[in-house]
Chain A
Amino acid sequence: MSDLEKFRSETRAWLQANCPPEMRKPMTSDGDTFWGGRNTKFSSEPQRIWFERMRDKGWTVPDWPREYGGGGLDAGEHKVLREEMAAMGARSPLSSFGIWMLGPALLKYGTEAQKKEHLPKIAAGLIRWCQGYSEPNAGSDLASLQTRAESDGDDYIITGQKIWTSYANYADWIFCLVRTDASAKKHDGISFILFDMASKGVSTKPILLISGYSPFCETFFDNVRVPKSHVVGTVNRGWDVAKYLLQHERAMISGMGERGVGRPLGQVAADSVGSDEQGRLEDPMLRGQIATFEIDEAALSAAAERAVDLAKAGQAHPAFSSAMKYYGTELNKRRHEILMSAGGVDALEWESERSRGGARPRAWLRTKANSIEGGTSEVMLGIVAKRILDLPGA
């Protein structure tokens, strides 16, 4: 038996023994996701047990080095763990922008002191992070951001406004892009800095969205004092860190389209439209849409697997995450259009208990942001045209 096969059988046995049955069911509500943080509460006892067992193994961040609270797995072992968790339907024990976005950037650009300070707290779910990127006048054109950081001795004084800050009202710390040199060209005067959301001068205001939820906030900085030692990477070179982090963010968002969460679409549709004596959906056009969707979903899932393997083999194009982000988000929007169509009138209820508070239409509306957040589909296609296809003037 190869080492990897041995790892697989041990991992499977450990997961079987340690993952509570409740944590192997598809997530049905927001409360099923555990985000960690100073003020967090577990929504159930199995959620707590599962999180703590995984944390103690270092498997909230399986591929991070052990010294920072990770599991120290190599790429092959990490893939095996993901496959084994997916095979039993095990939920992710901890969701966090610290894991998906900040962590990889700190591992590449952070000082040893920054890594030691922040990574273990992310791994242990102690600190919940938010991302201060977009501003009211800096959306797709992110590099035109205007939030100022003025030098004052060993500190910066930060003033400005961010927008679309996911869960800023629940976050403990923020990783933030600020302008440290107002006279430089727009990509050259930006720094990437970390600070506590409890600092004096920070305030947040949730934005009510079309889904009726407020996952995003406006975030205001009024003369917030931050030590210069909190800059990650080189001062005025924050754009490099920002771009690197965006690659991870895009990979994360593209994954939304391939998550076969919940019941298969064909069964969901059969509940509302019925089936004929051969077991085929009574609505043949909807049946065709679902099958075509599932073909594209399976293909995307293969592409995601291949992207990991290409990266491992050193053959990945660094801009490929933009391609995956584009396709994955458009696909996820299609999934929810089909779910709405399959549900018909029942999927239009907004408040009833029967509809779990309008879960389906609210989720449908939420997905419309997928092709906007983290770079719009149009920006992604522009990146592919320029960086991968090398088209002129792109």
Chain B
Amino acid sequence: MALVLNEEQSMLRDSARGFISDKAPVSHLRQLRDAKDATGFSRELWKGFAEMGFSGLLVPEAFGGSGLGCVEAGIVMEEIGRTLMPSPYLATSVLAASALSRGGSDAQKSQYLPNISDGSLLAALAIDEGAKHRPLMTKLKAVRAGNGFKLSGGKAFVVDGHTADLLIVAARSAGSAGERDGLTLFLVDPKAKGIAIERTAMVDAHNAARIVFDNAEVNADGVLGEVDQGFGLLEGVLNIGRAAVASEMVGLSEEVFGRTVTYLKERKQFGKLIGEFQALQHRAAQLYVDIEITRAAVLKALQTLDAGVDKAGAAVAVAKARAGTTATLAVQEGVQMHGGMGMTDQFDIGFFMKRARVCQELFGDSNFHADQLARMKSY
């Protein structure tokens, strides 16, 4: 397959870009942040997203979606990255839609997927427990009780956890932290007894929550996939999420870079445009090369996922690690080259720096994925 977007994909990109840049420029995020908005995103815009068909992009056609692939989901994420639009897209339409389509029973799919597709159901994936992303180290306990399970433990960094109508929770039903076997995914009603959700305001003004489970009950039909064998399903879903976040970072990096190059052509010092200075020219050129190479690696990962999620581990590790280092470089150069202006809250560039830091951490940072790649290659 050619490593470029085809015609339909280019059209999707154009329509996503048109919608997002028009309705949700960076000032949209700024307003939500300044107003301390309780939801943290615009429900009206989310409705618009659903009407455009974006929310059900990964949902199979049989359940009301458009049955498209990771390349298409990545295209939308990249456009989200350009304006930092806060949106349930990642948690609901990428992670939850993938988890349910890939692991759900027919009953579970029929119950949830059409509502994800039409934008009426919001979901969140609860994985991380400590400061770093370590899915194998999951400790949150699932103990058999009657017809179902009781969950106890804590989750952190649950994207959109405070607005979710449905939680997908990774829990340890057997074995101990670090083991592949013994993990189970559960579909949990966030309003159930024994669940406490605390919205955590984050540096990037996007949404996340800490959730405590205290003997929260789940029925047997709340098990997603197989009991004790949830890690394979989780890993596939996480890899789709990682590639999606990598796409967001490509969009973010390119936007910061574009703004920075524009500034180099406008700002004068010492009687010259600062873009005339070779010290800055070469750094700008290096960043350009870095972004182009990362873009190729991310598209490769998305295509590899579409060819078969189970064989995409290495390509995803490469993409997420590269996107993290590229975005980190892009935002640092962006602030530095904007000088004092880049340090002001009034200027948008800081929003990109903050979001890049969160994206780097989300589902494993560059170090995590370098370690993953080394493990896959047995060294």
| Chain A contact residues, CB within 8 Å of chain B | 264-267, 269-270, 275, 279-281, 287-288, 290-292, 294-296, 298-300, 302-303, 305-306, 309-310, 312-313, 315, 320, 323, 326-327, 378, 380-382, 384-385, 388-394
Contacts of B379 in A (CB 8 A): 264-267, 269-270, 275, 279-281, 287, 290
In the bound complex, CA of A300 to CA of B326 (Å): 13
**Min distance, Cβ B282 to any Cβ of chain A, angstroms:** 4
Q: Dominant SS at the B interface? A: helix
B310 within 8 A of A: no
Complex Cα spacing A299 to B292, Å: 10
B137 CB to closest chain A CB, in angstroms? 16
7 A-B pairs with the lowest CB-CB distances in the bound complex, closest first: A266-B379, A299-B297, A384-B285, A385-B281, A291-B370, A303-B296, A393-B276
Q: Mark B311-324, 1 if CB is under 8 A from A, else 0.
A: 00011011101100
Q: Are A385 and B284 in contact (CB under 8 A)?
A: yes
Interface size on B, residues (CB 8 A): 43
B327-379 contacts to A (CB < 8 Å): 367, 369-371, 373-375, 377-379
Where chain A touches its partner, the secondary structure class is helix
Say whether A299 contacts B276, CB under 8 Å.
no
Q: Would you give the shortest CB distance from B369 to chain A, in whole angstroms?
A: 7
| Chain B contacts to A: CB under 8 angstroms | 2-4, 261, 264-265, 272-273, 275-276, 278, 281-282, 284-286, 288-289, 292-297, 299-300, 314-315, 317-319, 321-322, 367, 369-371, 373-375, 377-379
Q: How far is the CA of A227 from the CA of B379 in the complex (A)?
A: 60
Given contacts A323-B289, A389-B288, A391-B275, contact A291 B371 (CB under 8 A): yes
* Contact A389 to B2, CB < 8 A, known contacts A266-B374, A303-B296: no
Which residues of A sit under 8 angstroms from B371, Cβ to Cβ?
Answer: 288, 291
Are A292 and B370 CB-contacts (below 8 A) given A310-B4, A381-B285, A382-B281? yes
A-B contact pairs, 25 of them (CB 8 A): A264-B379, A267-B379, A275-B379, A281-B379, A288-B371, A292-B370, A298-B297, A298-B314, A299-B318, A299-B322, A302-B3, A303-B297, A306-B295, A309-B2, A312-B2, A382-B285, A385-B281, A388-B285, A389-B261, A389-B281, A389-B288, A390-B265, A392-B265, A392-B273, A394-B281
Residues A299 and B296 in contact in the complex (CB < 8 Å), given A266-B377, A391-B275:
yes
With contact pairs A269-B379, A296-B322 given, residues A287 and B374 touching in the complex (Cβ less than 8 Å)? yes
**Is the beta-carbon distance between A279 and B370 smaller than 8 angstroms?**
no
When distances are taken between beta carbons in the complex, the residues of chain B under 8 Å from A394 are 275-276, 278, 281
Q: Is the CB of A323 within 8 A of B296?
A: no
A280 CA to B276 CA, complexed, in Å = 47
A305 and B370 contact, CB distance less than 8 A: no
Known contacts A391-B265, A392-B273; 12 further A-B pairs (Cβ under 8 A) = A288-B370, A291-B370, A291-B371, A295-B322, A306-B3, A306-B4, A381-B281, A385-B284, A388-B285, A389-B281, A389-B284, A393-B276
A265 cross-chain contacts in B, Cβ below 8 A: 379
Q: Is the CB of B3 within 8 A of A295?
A: no
For the complex, give the distance between the alpha carbons of A95 and B369 in Å: 37
> Inside 8 A of A264's CB, which chain B residues have their CB?
377, 379
Chain A residues in 8 Å Cβ range of B2: 309, 312-313
A300 / chain B contacts, CB cutoff of 8 Å: 293
Residue from B261, B377, B378 in contact with A294 in the complex, judged by beta carbons closer than 8 Å: B377
CA distance A381 to B282 in the complex (A): 5
